[in-house]
Amino acid sequence: MIIKPMKLLLTFLTSLLTGVTVMAQISHGGEPYNWKNRNHSEVGFYSLPAQNIEALRQEDDQVDPLKNSPYRFGANVAVDLDVNNSGSWTYLPNGDRIWRIGINSSGATSLNFVFDQYQLPEDGRVFVYAADGSQLIGSFTSENVSQVGSLGVGLIFSNAIVIEYHEPEAAIGTGYLHIDNVTHGYRSALGGVESTLEKAGPFGNSGSCNINVNCPEGLPYGIQKRSVAVIVVGNSGICTGALVNNTAQDNKPYFLTANHCTPGNNQIQNWVFYFNHDAAACNGNTGPTNQSVSGATVRAKNLLSDFALVEMNNPVPQSYNACYSGWDATDSQSNVSSAYGIHHPGGDVKKICFENNAPYHQSLGGFASEVWYIDEWELGVTEGGSSGSPLFNQSGVIIGQLAGGAAACDGSVNNGLFDFYGRIGVSWNTGSTSTTRLRDWLDPGNTGSLILSNSCSASLPANEITLGAFGNEETIYCSLVEYNQSITVFNTGSNIVTSLTGTVTFNGSSQPLNWTGNLAVGGAATINLGLFALQGGINSIVVNVPTVNGMADPIPAGNLKTQNVTFGENPVTVTLTINFDDFPDETSWEIVNASGTVIYSGGIYSEDELLLNLTLCLNEGCYTFVMEDNFGDGICCQYGNGFYSLTDATGTTLASGGEFADFEETAFCLQALSVNSRELAQEWSIFPNPARTEIQITTSKDLAVKSLHVFDPTGRAIDSATGSTLQSGNSRIDISAWPSGIYIVQIETAFGLSSRKLVVTK
């Protein structure tokens, strides 16, 4: 058994900023002065000192797997910057003035900071933006100040930012801003632009065994997910938590997280809470960051069950569509038969994990001693940054918040280890004052209630469904005349679903869709949509199910699903071969088109995977093939002689290799075969492939071959024949002396050249 040194469990989320990304932090709109014609030549930039990133990473490697502290994404750098000692003032023709200061930090993936002193006149406005204009936060006004006179500012995904304060003439000299620290981001969070030292994994910031909350598995939990938010804590860390309901049902913004995420009340005043940071698609790795709230105050916390209840300084805007989750404080194991968690690992988009068995009480002693214990997640997992996230029981109410554990991804599956959550039932009545228990805050009327539903249950429709994924998700085909399709439907209402009525529209022509059955609340069913005859070009399949149980579904957004399927008019078939090294669980790949869209991807692979052979269909055009290794040592040659090869239908190598570090990118362009070449390519093949000792060249009819050549991986011809006729099934080549590798077999006929890739394994 080969063992590598312990590796950093770090993958990162790439976000391409197009135009200006505006991040709302209960901001008040507008834009900086002369925004469209801005010029930074007059702005003085303050440069942060270089950071010891390697030392930070070594610390993270030890701390991240424990989940008993916030996931650190940046280093706080102490500064002393204010409107008097830094930056510059510019006076405007109308008598107003503007203060600007730039801050840069070489190599930073993001910058964010705290105004530890924030004092604005009534009409003063503050903006913060990336120096290249790609991202803008603000405006902030006097209404944004916290109870201690400070303001935490959200993340700007750039290594250079500009702060701009517009002070009206009537209030000159009355405003004051001071910054005491700036955070240099060194690994991505919330979808920030990745560092040159890092790369994005196939599932964003988190391990590949995580499941996006908007995957089919998570769709039945659409109400619960709306309470969960990611927190930027201490200006440089990430935790998770959830809004919680109280018996007054007044939407007071109480937020439950872990005690170990709360270093001090003044820092909590500068927390930033991001809601609805979800990927729209199951395989997406970016989500909105434009719905946030800044600042909170601790109401209660306790080490015994590692809980903290904070109250946000501002109400959550109605436009965020948030729910306040219910809870079960009975602490009864008999009330729990299964559980699930919703969380933000590493600040990534929202994920979900499932415990199919009943978690149980455990006393660990010391930190977070009274917990719900989960032996192993059946599906999904938690990671650093998930700390404080809610644990829901099978009824969809919170029974605890994540305190720690060793569960993590091991390649594309979880590692089979445990997690533990502080218990709501213990937090409910611990200690002798309201500052150490939940009861006083979540049951302000002293009703004695120990179970409360979420704030959205009353509005849950009786007859409501949500369409899930199509059964066949492939969207490009080279040679197909009939396409079989189905779709998953979830019962997200409060009634059993016995009938569905709608339409299936294919290329503009609609047919009725009628389904009958018995779909339980929270259950899922698969509806067969039938066969479709694809046409050349883009084919559109639209499923619309507006009627449930004979009544109109009141939430139509979940009743419409569209898929575009391309049957290429000029398609090109490519073949991907990967001969893995000893660690397939580190390997992933992507094919990206010219507009940056991922067309195909794969990884991470199981440890017993030896060889991958895929035939893929692409349209004419240009692409980039990306080969990745998350340990940073490629797939050859220290831990096995792995290699990869991407070839077209003629056998031409488009990308190949094996020796690289984190990743290797190869650009290539494809042109469809001529009719004769395409016909020729379909007339012959090599069997077996892969092969060990002998190959047989088979044809569908006799081909007059002018020449036959075999090329080794270096391009050297190692075998050839001329002027022969290949009879189907009769032409054999002895390859027993050939080393393992990828070879090209090429024939030339009157129709032209045609090639086949041959994989030889020993």
Q: Which residues have a catalytic role annotated? A: 260, 306, 387
d(CA 231, CA 251): 19
Contact partners, residue 752, CB within 8 Å, separation at least 6: 674, 676, 677, 680
d(CA 680, CA 750): 10
d(CA 65, CA 138): 36
Contact partners, residue 296, CB within 8 Å, separation at least 6: 255, 268, 269, 271, 273, 310, 311, 312, 313
Count of H-run helices and E-run strands, the chain: 6, 56
Q: Which residues of 345-378 are buried (b: 16+ CB within 10 A; e: fewer)?
A: bbbbbbbbbbbeebbeeeeeeeebbbbbebeebe
The beta strand positions in 266-416, using DSSP E, are 272-275, 292-294, 296-302, 307-312, 327-328, 339-343, 351-355, 360-363, 370-374, 390-393, 398-405, 409-410, 413-414
| Pairing label, strands 97-104, 160-167 | antiparallel
DSSP-assigned states of every residue in 519-535: E-TT-EEEEEEEEEE--
The answer to whether 522 and 395 have CB atoms below 8 angstroms apart is no
In three-state secondary structure terms, 683 is coil
d(CA 604, CA 645): 18
d(CA 338, CA 336): 6
H or E stretch covering 676: helix 675-681
Count the Cβ atoms, other than its own, within 10 Å of residue 699.
18
Within a 13 Å sphere around the CA of 545, how many CA atoms are in the beta-carbon half? 27
Tokens of residue 475, six digits:
């969207």
Closest residue by Cα to residue 316 from 214, 242, 239: 242
d(CA 386, CA 67): 7
Q: In what order do the strands lie in the sheet with 643-648?
A: 611-619, 571-579, 643-648, 653-657
Closest residue by Cα to residue 166 from 26, 31, 21: 31
How much is the CA Rg of the chain, to the nearest whole Å? 30
What phi and psi values does residue 426 have, to the nearest 5 degrees? -80, -40
In three-state secondary structure terms, 257 is strand
> Nearest-5° angle of CA 740, CA 743, CA 747?
150
Closest residue by Cα to residue 632 from 567, 581, 558, 704: 581
